[in-house]
C-alpha cells in the first residue's frame, strides 16, 4: 500500500462519516505527505472538524449593512380591523 492509500485509510478511520474531510484528503498530493502519514491524517481530520464546528461556518458571512438591518426591530403590519 502506498503512502497516499495509507493516508486516505487513516483519515477514514478518524472521521468515518465525514464526506467533506474524506474528499479533502483525496486532494492532498502524495508528494506532500510526510513519511508517517498517520500524523498528517490526524492533523487534517482534527483541523477540519474544528473548522466545521466553528461559528464562521455555521453563520453565513454577511455585509455590515445586512447585519445592521438584521438587528433593527421589524415593524409589524397593522391588521385591517384596526
Question: Binning pLDDT at 50, 70 and 90, where does residue 52 land?
Answer: confident
- Confidence check: pLDDT of 82 > 60: no
**CA-CA distance, 31 to 53, in Å (whole number)?**
29
Q: Would you say the pTM of this structure is higher than 0.75?
A: no
Mean pLDDT of 40-65: 80
Q: How far is CA 39 from CA 10, 68, 76, in A?
A: 9, 44, 56
Amino acid at each position: 500500500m502506498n503512502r497516499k492509500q495509507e493516508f486516505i485509510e487513516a483519515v477514514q478511520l478518524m472521521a468515518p462519516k465525514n464526506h467533506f474531510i474524506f474528499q479533502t484528503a483525496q486532494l492532498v498530493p502524495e508528494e506532500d505527505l510526510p513519511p508517517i502519514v498517520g500524523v498528517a491524517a490526524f492533523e487534517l481530520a482534527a483541523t477540519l472538524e474544528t473548522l466545521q464546528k466553528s461559528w464562521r461556518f455555521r453563520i453565513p458571512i454577511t455585509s455590515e449593512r445586512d447585519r445592521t438591518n438584521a438587528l433593527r426591530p421589524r415593524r409589524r403590519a397593522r391588521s385591517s380591523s384596526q
